Amino acid sequence: MRRFCTILANITVWITLSTAASAQTLGTILPEDDASETEQTSETDATDESEATPVPAAEGAPAEEATPPEVEAPQAEDVGVEATAEPAPVEQAVTPAPPTNDVGSEEAPGSEAQQAAQEQPAPPAQPAPPAQPAATDTESTPETVESDKSTAGTTEKAVRQKIDWDGQWYARPVAGVGSFTDQEGENWRPFVVGLTAGRRYWQDKRSPKWTGWHYAQLNYLWGPNAVGTEAQVGTLFGPKIGVFSLLAGPEVFYDEYNFDEGEVVLAASTGVAAPILLSADLILVKAYYGIEPRWFLDSARQTVDWAAHASDGFGNEFAEKYGVHVNLFLLQVDLGQTRTYTAYGTHTNWFVGVRFMDI
C-alpha cells in the first residue's frame, strides 16, 4: 500500500509540472485572450489538485509567494530510481497582468491615452462667474423711462400731500361778571361761573392749512335778584392762512334767565346758532372777533324786531363775541366779552378764563 501511494504521488507531481510548463509555453505564443484563458484554466486545475502547488506567472508581472506542499520523496529501493530530496523549483502563480509589447501582443486601443489621463493632475477649479441680473422682458425705451419718472414723481407728490393731523384737548374754568339791561334801562349784575372744554385740531403742515375746534360750554349766573343758565355745544372749522383763521360751524344752545324775582323773565328756550369767528394768532397773543345769529326751535320766547331795534343784526337773536388769549408760560389766560341782543334787552357777560397749555 505504501508503495502504491508513493507511485501515485510521483505521477501527480509529474502531471502538475507538465501542465505548468505547457501553460507557460502557451502564454508566450497564444494571443492575449487565449493565454489568459489557459492560465486561468491551469490555475484552476492546479488548485483542484493541490492548493499549494505553484503555478507559473505571466512574464513581467509581480509574483506572490506561495508555500509549496510537502511531498513525501519516494525511496530508492522501492522505485528503483534515484529520488530527489526536494521537488524541482517552479515559478509562482499570480494573477495574470495585462499583456505588454514585450511579447509582441497588440496593446488595447486607447490604453496609453487613458493612463496619461489618469496620471495628469486635475485642473484647478475655476471661480464661478458673478450672478447676472435677471433680464427684463422689455427693453428700456425713452417712453418707458419717462413713464417711470412720471410715476415716481406722482408717488413722491402723494407722499408729500399725505398730511397728518394734530390736536390738543383742553378744559378751561371761567369766572366773570354778567350784566343785563332791559328796555327801560334797568340793570342787573350777576356773577358768572362755568367751564369750557373741547379739542382744538389742525393740520401738521405749513400754512395754508385747515384747523378746527370742538367745544362744550356751561355757565351759571346768580346774584342779587338774578339767576340764569347757559349751555352751548358746537364745532368750528375753517382755513388758516398765515396768522389769520376763519372758522364757522353749527351750534346748539339752551338758556333761561330770571331777573328781579320774575319781573323780567327770558323763558327757557332751545335753538341753533351759526357762529363765525375771525382770529389772528400772534404766538403770545391771540385776538378774535365773531358773530352768532340764533334761531329758536320753540316759541317760548319773543324774537327781535330788527326794524325797530337800535342795533343791527339778524336771526331771532344776535350775539357778538370778542376777546384775547394771552400765553403766560404754562398758562393761557382768556379775557372776553359776549353781548347778546334779545327782545327783552341786552345781555352782556365779561369773563376771565384760565387753562393749562398742555391740557
- Establish if 106 belongs to a structural domain: no
- Establish if 139 belongs to a structural domain: no
Per-residue pLDDT reduced to its tens digit, 25-83: 545 444 444 444 444 444 444 444 444 444 444 444 444 444 444 544 444 344 333 43
Q: Are 192 and 287 in the same domain?
A: yes
The pTM assigned to this predicted structure is 0.55
Cα(163)–Cα(156) distance, integer angstroms: 13
Number of domains the chain contains = 2
- What pLDDT is stored for residue 31 in this prediction? 45
Give the domain-ending residue among 62, 94, 126. Answer: 94
- Establish if 147 belongs to a structural domain: no
- What pLDDT is stored for residue 83 in this prediction? 39
- What pLDDT is stored for residue 220 in this prediction? 96
Those residues of the chain that have pLDDT short of 70 are: 1-5, 13, 18-163, 357-359
- What pLDDT is stored for residue 29 in this prediction? 44
- Kindly state the cell numbers that stand for 205: 403742515
- What pLDDT is stored for residue 72 in this prediction? 47
- Any idea what the CATH number is for the domain that residue 267 is in? 2.40.128.100
Cβ neighbours of 142 (radius 10 Å): 7
- What pLDDT is stored for residue 332 in this prediction? 86
Give the domain-ending residue among 78, 94, 110. Answer: 94
Q: Are 84 and 176 in the same domain?
A: no
Strands, E, within the chain: which ranges? 165-182, 187-188, 191-203, 209-223, 226-241, 244-248, 251-259, 264-273, 276-282, 285-296, 317-328, 331-341, 345-356
- What pLDDT is stored for residue 221 in this prediction? 94
Per-residue pLDDT reduced to its tens digit, 87-111: 444 444 444 444 444 444 444 444 4
- Establish if 233 belongs to a structural domain: yes
Structural domain including 184 reads: 166-356
C-alpha to C-alpha distances, 270 to 94, 219, 259, 354, nearest whole angstrom: 127, 15, 19, 28
- Establish if 303 belongs to a structural domain: yes
Give the domain-ending residue among 94, 122, 138. Answer: 94
Helices (DSSP H) in the chain: which residue ranges? 2-29, 32-49, 76-79, 111-119, 142-161
Q: Are 182 and 330 in the same domain?
A: yes
C-alpha to C-alpha distances, 318 to 159, 236, 309, nearest whole angstrom: 45, 18, 12
CA end-to-end distance (rounded Å), the chain:
135
- Establish if 351 belongs to a structural domain: yes
